[in-house]
Structure 1
């Protein structure tokens, strides 16, 4: 374990080659510190509960959804290195600076249904290269492979940051005394095998046959074709479920289902799937829709949805083969 702080890490990794990218990441994480403070106050600050209106996704927003979204937009739109930004909470992208080097996409508060019960939530972010002097909507339509950085901040018993700049995955823990993120694990690796899976089984009747087959095999345990016992975990916060996989392995599924034909793939490609899949692949795992590698998908809309299967490579490959 290193005592290296995030600013020191960014200086070592990007300071000479990509100082503007380092500064963009620093700005995002500074916003996350403010969101963390708001979460720590909780009901005392009057930030819990519903905002009583819906976002562009048709989801009822929590008060802290709006607060965290505004915090990130206000800080990033004035950043000299950012040409434009896009939020899961807003229908259109937000223009930033002319000649900005980067585009930032984010889910300001993933798992916000957990806020009122004091469970884990997080912020997910993705950084893409800017394409034009003045950013247009189509500039965001880049494959996940083009991301130059991605990560999340998980607000839990410890506030943690997972980050990749295309050279592996590093985990940081927020030191409340230093008020800095400090490296607590480098070169994170996901085991190819696992006995742990995460899926919302209440949707089983809506899944396609390959996913039903896979989950049935896991539930059959020692008596089934997999001949071993599996444990199921589900936090209802993608950040927490992915953090568990980075920490101790596993596989996460939010598969194609027929419950709502308009949302057959539930997770947002640009704000959730791409950044998380980059982290998983950089840690040696795999990520697909069940049929194709997610980081190869060419986006067509800002709020495109996709099925997601990611984590332990052998499990993901098996699920893909079933399709």
Structure 2
């Protein structure tokens, strides 16, 4: 029998993992209701956004703290993981979450999209208490990842490494209806999600790619592209799933020693798993995002993800020595070419 909702779908998953996802989905449903209520009082401005962020943090912490399958969890605002005093040794999984993404100034007043991201890792040394070091796993080891996006409808996009599924929250309930199975990203696309305000600071491979897209039909790509940037990561990625294209959060030369803006473990890795499971790709310019081994909980990376052909094209541009890539070792110089005066 084909599953009709999340509960039916979880019945075919390992019971321990199903319980973790069930708790995360319940937290997302509660955050959705809190976001809807907060939208009624947007005149209060940043105070409402801050209050909603705190409420989202509480929802996630409560859901994961009560789950016996979770040995420990950490959110993007925490410096150290929370290790369960009851389940820190016996819990099968570790969870990382960004409870409320897109909560910048004016998000509620402008009815901007908000979201939640999460990543589920195995507790590799089950039987011993989880530790901060236990979270330092590459994204390739994720057993599940997903995001919720809150708007006119609340949608949960989820993968347990068996493709990508989309569920929609039934209004007035906690039931998630399966609305799309085997979600697939088009191999190529014409949407480019990037903040153009920083273009002058981008590395040359990214500048080259974006310039080719802007040139449209008269350029080397021979077709027109659209540029979008919503300041909400989940909203921009959700659009890539629907239309194809690429999301770029590139390294820039203002801070050569800062590798990127997005957090590897809380944002880049879960989205990379979803993208690869849907047939897309995700890289930092030189390596697959899922292969990066974190050395800090809050480690940041540059992100290139979306349709496979678009990502592979940008990666090829990074591999071209004539593009004068500004890697950290050489600061603003390339190993091959000196910058032009």
Q: Distance in 2 between matches of 1:44 and 1:294?
A: 39
The 5 Å alignment of 1:1-323 reads 4-12=4-12, 14=13, 18-44=14-40, 49-50=45-46, 62-96=50-84, 97-98=87-88, 99-113=90-104, 114-132=107-125, 133-261=128-256, 263-323=258-318
Q: 1:48 and 1:90, CA in 2 relative to 1: closer, same or farther beyond 3 A?
A: farther
Q: 1:201 and 1:130, CA in 2 relative to 1: closer, same or farther beyond 3 A?
A: same
Hey, what does 1:55 align to over in structure 2?
Answer: none
Q: 1:71 and 1:178, CA in 2 relative to 1: closer, same or farther beyond 3 A?
A: closer
Deviation at 1:304, TM superposition (A): 0.4
Deviation at 1:67, TM superposition (A): 1.5
Of the structure 1 ranges 177-186 and 159-168, higher mean CA displacement relative to structure 2 is found in 177-186
Deviation at 1:35, TM superposition (A): 0.7
Aligned partners of 1:258 and 1:264 also within 8 Å: no
Larger radius of gyration: 2
Aligned partners of 1:48 and 1:62 also within 8 Å: no
TM-score calculated relative to the size of structure 2: 0.87
Hey, what does 2:330 align to over in structure 1?
Answer: none
What is the aligned length? 310
Q: Distance in 1 between matches of 2:176 and 2:69?
A: 22
**1:45-70 Cα shifts (integer Å, max 9, x gaps):** 68964359xxxxxxxx8222222112
DSSP 3-state at the match of 2:109: helix
Aligned partners of 2:39 and 2:111 also within 8 Å: no
Of the structure 1 ranges 302-311 and 65-74, higher mean CA displacement relative to structure 2 is found in 65-74
DSSP 3-state at the match of 2:265: helix
DSSP 3-state at the match of 2:68: coil
Deviation at 1:227, TM superposition (A): 1.2
DSSP 3-state at the match of 2:156: strand
Q: 1:170 and 1:142, CA in 2 relative to 1: closer, same or farther beyond 3 A?
A: same
Q: Distance in 2 between matches of 1:305 and 1:225?
A: 32
Deviation at 1:116, TM superposition (A): 3.2
Q: 1:287 and 1:87, CA in 2 relative to 1: closer, same or farther beyond 3 A?
A: same
Q: 1:211 and 1:67, CA in 2 relative to 1: closer, same or farther beyond 3 A?
A: same
Structure 1 unaligned runs (5+)? 53-60
Q: Distance in 2 between matches of 1:19 and 1:278?
A: 21
Structure 2 unaligned runs (5+)? 319-341
Aligned partners of 1:47 and 1:64 also within 8 Å: no
Aligned partners of 1:68 and 1:108 also within 8 Å: yes
